[in-house]
Chains A and B, each alone.
Chain A
Amino acid sequence: MIFSDFQVKELDCKDSLLKELNPHVERTILSYNQEDAEDCDAEKQSIFNDIHLNRFKSRNQLINTWEGTVTDVDGKSIFAKLYDTSDGTFDEFEFEFNDLKDSDQNMVKEGALFFLYLGYYTDNRGTKMKSSNIEFRRFPTNLDEDDINEKLDAINALNFDDLWE
């Protein structure tokens, strides 16, 4: 068997090769899983029982959410296309750099994705007020451009099927 053939076979039939070369490895993995299965189930259950006791409560009570993408930037103005997640409709939206958090301002460029939230915000003194908030979606810094494009494609395939028409 030449080396390249072996590589192809290894990729295609990893499991069968594993059995062929060392059946003991397969048995060890299986027995490890069986021994751990019951402990694992009990542990998972206890994790959920525990976290349910200490529930998260956001200060924002949302009325609606839109997913948006920046279509154009002109001076202080930002133009975007919005997708309403509640009814699947699209809209145009214009906002300004001043509407953004300082840390999000350097993320504004054509194609950038964001969430627009509309709802009520309750501060730590209990005062309730209407609020809208724009949150730009972030990506890891260790990705190269191809990786980022791949992730963006995956996100777009999930949520933006019709947005790019």
Chain B
Amino acid sequence: MFSTFEKKPTSMALYIAVFGDFSPNIFQTAWFVKHNIISDVDAENLESNINRHQAIIEFSYCKFEARTRALIFETDQLNFLGQTLDLVRLILNILKNLPCQGIEAHILTHYNVENGLSFIGKIAKNQFWEDITEGAYDCSEIEIKIPNKENSKLNSVVSLEVCPKNNNQIHINVRDSVFLMDNLSLMKEINTFAVEDIKSSFNNSIHLINKVRNYDFQ
């Protein structure tokens, strides 16, 4: 079961990126039918845009995008994450003999607050920077990197910013490195534990976002 947002974001996006070397034009809808990911009837109704540099296929629950250096899975609701992870598991299994350079999980959330600048200012306000910039420091963006205790090469990047479209909204984003391969591992070597680790990465990120959103800044 996935963690839940204690205060519901107005919108969100969840990404899983698998890094490696790929040929996007193999990811035709017929390829998905062949591997039993979708039926041939469903394949006819899918929106897709496939060329030598990029393949984009929109399922009802997620968007799959293949580029030469990454496969990206994107969904817009936590409730679709289970089925999206099934797709990740299936594709890693099919591409089992390709090298994998790493996996990242990324959450973007959009929250309504009374005043975005004030919300972030309470966290970021610092006399030191205001003195240096002579008051021009607007505290509208914060980004911190949290190193992984077990592997110093892995880290989570938490970023907050005032929404550029609306001052009453903020973005709280977490970009987490799930794996970074020291040498070129094959997909089949990581497939058995990858999905579980992606899932716990999302749960940790949701926990972090809840902490930031709920904290009572004085």
> Hey, which bits of chain A sit against chain B, CB under 8 A?
29, 33, 40, 43-44, 47-48, 51-52, 55-62, 64-65, 67, 85-86, 88, 101-104, 115, 117, 119, 133, 135, 137-143, 151, 154, 158-159
Cross-chain contact A47 with B75 (CB below 8 angstroms): no
In B13-31, the 8 Å CB interface with A consists of: 13, 15, 17, 19
Cross-chain contact B79 with A47 (CB below 8 angstroms): no
Cross-chain contact A44 with B75 (CB below 8 angstroms): no
- How many A-B pairs have beta carbons closer than 8 Å: the answer is 109
Secondary structure dominating the interface of A = mixed
Q: Is B61 an interface residue (CB 8 A)?
A: yes
Q: Please give, as numbers and ranges, the residues of chain A lying within 8 Å of B161 by CB-CB distance.
A: none
> Hey, which bits of chain B sit against chain A, CB under 8 A?
1-2, 4, 13, 15, 17, 19, 34-42, 58, 60-63, 65, 67, 69-70, 72, 74-77, 79-80, 82-83, 86, 89-90, 93-94, 101, 104, 106, 108, 175, 182-183, 192, 195-196, 199
Cross-chain contact B36 with A52 (CB below 8 angstroms): no
CB distance from A39 to the nearest CB of B (A): 10
Q: Please give, as numbers and ranges, the residues of chain A lying within 8 Å of B94 by CB-CB distance.
A: 140, 142
Q: Tell which of A33, A40, A52, A159 touches B108, judged by Cβ atoms closer than 8 Å.
A: A52
Give the distance in Å from the alpha carbon of A143 to the alpha carbon of B188 in the complex.
Answer: 13
Q: Please give, as numbers and ranges, the residues of chain B lying within 8 Å of A48 by CB-CB distance.
A: 15, 17, 106, 175
Instruction: Name the CB-closest residue of A to B36.
Output: A141
Q: Tell which of B15, B80, B86, B195 touches A51, judged by Cβ atoms closer than 8 Å.
A: B15
